[in-house]
A and B are shown apart, each in its own frame.
Chain A
Amino acid sequence: MRRSGHPAIVCRCRDVTVDDVLKAIDEGCEDLECLKRRLGIGMGPCQGRTCIPIALSILARKLGKRPEELALPTFRAPIIPLPAALILKSLDARDGEGEEGR
């Protein structure tokens, strides 16, 4: 897969390369949930937007399957990184107490 001297990056959040993905698959990680936990793909700030489709196509090719046959990993709330200050406001609204009032 490595055609030049520079490794091809799959996950920019964790610096995971194509070779890393291929090695993990060879070691028995044959689904995206396993690759996620083995390599951290899908766990960075992009929440898998970049890496999961790429890892999916590598995995499908390697297993001789179509990408749509493979299961996607679970995507977790809040989907995009949310500032804690914003999340804290939701509690203030329900409790009716000012956040700075304590």
Chain B
Amino acid sequence: MVEILIIGGGATGLMTAYSLLRRGVRDVAVFDASYPAGGSTGRCASGIRASFTSKEHVVLMREAIKLWRSYSEGDLGRAGLKFHQSGYVWVSFSEEGVDTFRELVKLHNSLGVRTEVLGPDALKELVPPARTEGVAGIMVDREAGKACPFETVFALITVLRRHGIEVRYHTRVTGIAVRSGRVSGAFVEGRGLVEAEKVLVAAGPSSRDVLKPLGVEIPVKNMPRHALITEPYRPAFNPLVIEWDVPGVPYIVQTDEGAFYIAREIEEEPEEPLTSQRIDFMPKALKPLTRLFPWLRNVRVLRYWLGYYSVTPDHHPILGPVEGVEGLYIAAGFSGHGYMMSPVTGEVMAGWMLDGKPPIPEAGRLTLERFERGELIRERAIVG
């Protein structure tokens, strides 16, 4: 018997357990079917930013960044979590792109996120090895940053276990138990029914399948996304650099170890298995970036892999309780932004589970019911 059972030991599940711990709730168990960082968390780009296009995303990510910073200075930091406030640089090759940047900056600034639009010279300053030819302008988000997902996950596991919270991997939850409209626990492989007052589904791309037997349908499509990493090189630049007006929005970031992480959206079918490799992704991701970084031709590509974006119709996550099943909560469908949002997701879900409401009003609009009511989240700035 536990108070709260969390399905999924990725960034979302672990950060929620950590937020509960901060609130003094230790009667929590986390179960994950795979190994640590074996799902979307371990496959992600590690970028963290508040420069988004909807009020909800900007506000939540702004709060997430505050938490990333304070967590990296506290017990999680001592256990290995590092947050580098190294910034994001959005590059546009067209005047239309720069106009969009100006609209976005207005939105960000009005919500306390200090982005700015600058000229090509600033690119040279922020990203010295970039060629500025053809660059119309850039949008700079200096408060954005990056955090290694592996270090984050292991720091969380260490701190949670130190406080006696059960965090177990290779332990699949086979079903959620519901008795007369109320959650009674979950069936855990090798353990049988583990009774719980509340159950949180934070199982990333598997969340849909975990919920389906209960008749709870979440409108999520799992889109395969691809990424590659190069051999490590000496530090060249700090920010994550995105080519805003190139189709598939290619981006590049140098990791702590010095490797270049490169990604770009390519045409894909939802639910394609993660074993379906697309070797054509590698040249397609590299080529547009050689415009800014001609020297990329000389780097060596080490590894290429896939992960899912669990995408909802309005590209915002599903956060909160499920109407009709008391004690059941969802944190899923992050549409590619679950890792960066995870510290604030933890606070939001802890609020829902302990107080019956989230600590941030904007998060209250993100429940599953919005899709039934047709109250989808709107983009406040016209993008693209």
Residue ranges of A at the interface with B (Cβ–Cβ < 8 Å): 14, 27-29, 31, 33-34, 37-38, 40, 43-45, 47, 76-78, 81-85, 87-91, 94, 99, 102
Contacts and interface: CB of A to CB of B under 8 A. Distances in A.
Nearest to A32: B35
Given A28-B157, A31-B35, A81 B300 contact: yes
B197 to A, nearest CB: 27
B282 interface: yes
A88 B42 contact: no
A91 B305 contact: no
B371 interface: no
Nearest to A76: B303
B299 interface: yes
A14 B302 CA distance: 14
Secondary structure of the B contact surface, majority rule: mixed
B191 to A, nearest CB: 17
Given A28-B157, A34-B36, A84 B284 contact: no
Contacts, number: 91
Given A47-B303, A90-B283, A91-B280, A37 B35 contact: yes
B297 A27 contact: no
Instruction: Please tell me the size bucket of the interface on B.
Output: 35 or more
A97 to B, nearest CB: 10
Interface string B286-312: 110011000011111111110000000
A33 B153 CA distance: 14
Given A28-B157, A37-B150, A40-B257, A91 B170 contact: no
Contacts of B157: 28
Contact of B301 (A27, A33, A78, A94): A78
Interface of B: 34-38, 42, 150, 153-154, 157-158, 161, 169-170, 230-232, 257, 277, 279-280, 282-284, 286-287, 290-291, 296-305
A78 B304 contact: yes
A37 B296 CA distance: 26
Nearest to A92: B283
Given A76-B304, A81-B231, A84-B297, A37 B42 contact: yes
B302 A81 contact: yes
Given A31-B170, A78-B304, 15 more contacts: A37-B35, A37-B36, A37-B154, A38-B36, A44-B232, A76-B305, A81-B300, A84-B286, A85-B297, A85-B298, A87-B286, A88-B297, A89-B283, A90-B282, A90-B283
Given A34-B36, A77-B277, A91-B284, A84 B299 contact: yes
Contacts of A44: 232, 302
Contact of B283 (A33, A45, A91): A91
A37 B169 CA distance: 14
Given A33-B38, A45-B231, A87-B286, A82 B280 contact: no
